Structure 1
Amino acid sequence: MQHVDRIIHWVLSSLALETSVFHLGQYCGQWRASLAGRARAGYHLVLHGQCWLHVPGRQAPLRLSAGDAVFFLRDIPHHLGPSDDAAACLPVAVMQPLGVPLAGGTGLACGFFDFRAGMAEALLAPFPDYLVLPADAPAAPGIRALFELIEQEARHSGAEASPLVARLVELLFFYVIRALSAREEVARGLWPMLRSAEFSALVLELIRHPERDWSIEAMAARVHMSRATFCKRFAAACGEPPATFLQLLRMKIATRLLDDGAAIAQVAERVGYRSESAFAKAFLRATGLQPGAWRRRAQASTTASLAATQM
């Protein structure tokens, strides 16, 4: 589990996750809450009371209770409401401050996740559009403690949500990635490797030291296998040959370094390429862009985000 959690930590760092709070309060009577239509990932936390989750065309209405959470990795139609009848969930009631729980009321914390462009598509692509994390999930003790902290902080936030609420939700997202990576249907790429006791330690080494000369023989020796056995078992666990997986992992690390403003020659060296031109060719195959073009796009995105926050 330690290997898995370290890799998840690397993933979240690579995503440059930023969390914001959009709704924080409680509803009573007829109401409807949704984050859909904003082209962003989002979350709903049920702090007290109960409600129903409606995801048209995906599943039957699902009852949610205090301590349950829903995380949308992609923007899809959905809403929460007080009834299992979608038509009865009307946007009538106005959200009230949390304060003292209202009789029959539902306390919610809702908001958005923003990820680093490019990395999110690569690392989160194998996951489903959304995940319901119930209060009685295997990781419930940790989740429950976070929920209690979020609710306590929310009740003392006043009209404007405390920044600490968003930071606590980021911690909660760690449990989301852990739960998703354990799903058997996520059967390709990085995530199934985390379920493999024989390969998770190797993946952590590749992440920590992508600059090393990781030949097939070197990787096989790291897990104490012959070359043939290693290639066969690796491909069966990952869905990709070892060399392909290593190159994709190096390119994911390279995109993060470029996003952070590192020089192309430095990035090439740090991900194991002796030649800047060889790195550029591999990067172009993996991302469809030259390293310089990728970095300029990242810089333009950062500039636009800073300008937006100053408006």
Structure 2
Amino acid sequence: MAEPLTPHGFLDGVSRLIRLARLEGTVDVRCLISGRFSMEHEAVGPGTVPFYLVLHGHCTATTGSAAIDLAPGDLLVFSHGDAHQVRVADGRKRRYEDEPGPTFVTRRTVGGGTPELDLFCGHYRFDSAAGVLLFRLLPPLVHVTLDDAAVRLADVLREEAGFDGSGTGVIVSSLCEALLAMALRSRPEQRLDTPALWTAMGDDVLGRVLAEVVDRPGEAWTIERMATAASMSRATFLRRFSTRTGTTVATLLTTIRMMIAADLLTSSAESVSHIARQVGYSSESAFAQTFRAAVGEPPARFRKKSVARD
């Protein structure tokens, strides 16, 4: 008989993976704009993920051939750091000024009266391999209409941004990280325009199975075992998994294991062979090969560089 699965295990699993990524959220610019407006953003390298949060008004983000219309309560995350543009096409183009603040810049239309657009522009930064793997597994664009709880949190962000004084930096950072976690989960009142986002699959059964993988990555997680835990046939499980997550069982399982391994290599003094066993590899050489393919360097070199950075 399969072991009982905890009812909220997947949320805990996602929370753990986000913590492993060691994210730091930052608001760069708050735009309080009226009329026509355009802002370009060049591509950024690994370790930086731009995001936009609309509190009031409407705008459009474009990247490549994709155009995403953003409305109040929408959060858009460029998971792979692609180049993009944010614009408002309607209205008269007006001059704006940048007002530096202790935490971020406020970009405001000169003589614009009540702003037609209230937009937070920021980024998530991380220097962990776990962060690279987490965002690599997400699609290039994550577009979420936040649920009521997240919108209330965004209102707190707006109030704190209006203050922009002592302590605002750390409060804004924490709020940005909380908003990302709330976006990467599935709630009935939350609209997810991104197809097949594994962290918000809206499938309690699959979610709880994956939570068990995050909790015990060293166990033998075969497709058959996962299907049994989900009370499905192997074929049904694979079809449902592919549809809901947009990836394969092997890819997601390997990514989770490598995220945990990268964190252990950075935060513990355990041997590489012991860490390999903890994430499900009886062969140190097989683990090293998989880790190098995922992270770009073998475990020992990765650990040495991580220690040197600290």
TM-score, normalized by length of structure 1?
0.72
Match of 1:95 in 2: 98
Shift of 1:119: 3.2
Provide, for residues 197-252 of structure 1, a one-character-per-residue CA deviation record: whole Å limited to 9, x for no partner: 44332221121112335566655554456xxx33x334333458867754553233
Find the aligned partners of 1:61 and 1:182 in 2 and give their Cα distance: 13
Q: Of the candidates 69, 72, 79, which is equivalent to residue 78 of structure 2? A: 72
Is the 1:192–1:237 Cα contact (8 Å) retained in structure 2? no
In structure 2, do the counterparts of structure 1 residues 79 and 235 end up closer, same or farther at CA, with 3 Å as the change threshold? Answer: same
Change (3 A) 1:83 1:224: closer
Using the alignment, how far apart are the partners of 2:237 and 2:127 within structure 1? Answer: 28
| 2:299 aligned with 1:291 | yes
Given residue 107 of structure 1, which amino acid in structure 2 is its aligned partner?
A: D
> Is 1:251 the counterpart of 2:258 in the alignment?
yes
Task: Describe the shift of the 1:95–1:198 C-alpha distance in structure 2 as closer, same or farther (beyond 3 A).
Answer: same
Residue number in structure 1 paired with 2:3: none
Find the aligned partners of 1:170 and 1:207 in 2 and give their Cα distance.
20
Specify whether residues 181 and 128 from structure 1 end up closer, same or farther in structure 2 by C-alpha distance, changes over 3 A only: farther
Would you say 1:237 and 2:240 are equivalent positions?
yes
Partner residue of 1:309?
none
Counterpart Cα distance in 1 of 2:211 and 2:68: 40
Whole-angstrom CA distance in 1 between matches of 2:71 and 2:225: 50
Question: How far apart in 2 are the matches of 1:242 and 1:67?
Answer: 32
Larger strand proportion, structure 1 or 2? Answer: 2
* 3-state SS in 1 of match to 2:185: helix
Cross-structure match for 2:27: 21
Q: What is residue 125 of structure 1 aligned with on the other side?
A: 136
2:185 corresponds to which of 178, 184, 204: 178
Deviation, 1:121, is: 4.5
Identity %: 24
Distance in 2, matches of 1:181 and 1:7, equals 21
Structure 2 match to 1:46: 54
Whole-Å separation in 1 of the counterparts to 2:167 and 2:251: 48
The Cα offsets for residues 224-282 of structure 1, whole Å up to 9 and x where unpaired, read as: 56xxx33x334333458867754553233212212334432331232234554453344
Aligned-residue offset at 1:26:
2.5
Answer yes or no: is the 8 Å Cα contact 1:42–1:112 preserved in 2.
Answer: yes
- Secondary structure in 1 aligned to 2:120? strand
Match of 1:260 in 2: 267
Gaps of 5+ in 2: 1-6, 100-105
Whether contact under 8 Å (1:73, 1:129) holds in the other structure is yes
Q: 1:66: Cα distance to partner?
A: 4.0
Unaligned runs of 5+ in 1: 304-311
Asked whether the 8 Å contact 2:52–2:120 carries over to 1, the reply is: yes
Tell me if 1:114 matches 2:97.
no
Q: Which has the higher contact order (CA 8 A, sep 6+)?
A: 2
The letter for the 2-side match of 1:93 is Y
Deviates more, 1:156-165 or 1:36-45: 156-165
**Preserved contact between residue 193 and residue 237 of structure 1 (Cα < 8 Å):** no
Give CA-to-partner distance per residue, 1:159-207, whole Å, 9 cap, x none.
99532112111111113222699778428xxx28954444332221121
213-222 or 113-122: which moved more? Answer: 213-222
Task: Tell me whether 1:8 sits opposite 2:11 in the alignment.
Answer: no
| Preserved contact between residue 55 and residue 79 of structure 1 (Cα < 8 Å) | yes
What SS does the aligned partner of 2:154 have?
A: helix
Contact persistence 1:19–1:111 (CA under 8 A): yes
The amino acid that maps onto 1:79 is Q
Letter in 2 for 1:103: G
Give the residue type in structure 1 aligned to 2:240.
A
Partners of 2:209 and 2:229 within 8 A in 1 = yes
Instruction: Return the TM-score normalized by structure 2.
Output: 0.72
Q: Distance in 1 between matches of 2:240 and 2:200?
A: 6
- Alpha-carbon separation, structure 2, partners of 1:245 and 1:70: 23
What amino acid is the match of 2:278?
R
**Residue pair 2:30, 2:121 contacting (<8 A) in 1 also:** yes
Q: Tell me the amino acid that sits aligned with residue 288 of structure 2.
A: A
Cα deviations across residues 10-62 of structure 1 (Å, max 9, x unaligned)? 221232211112113523466444443444311222334x2422415434573
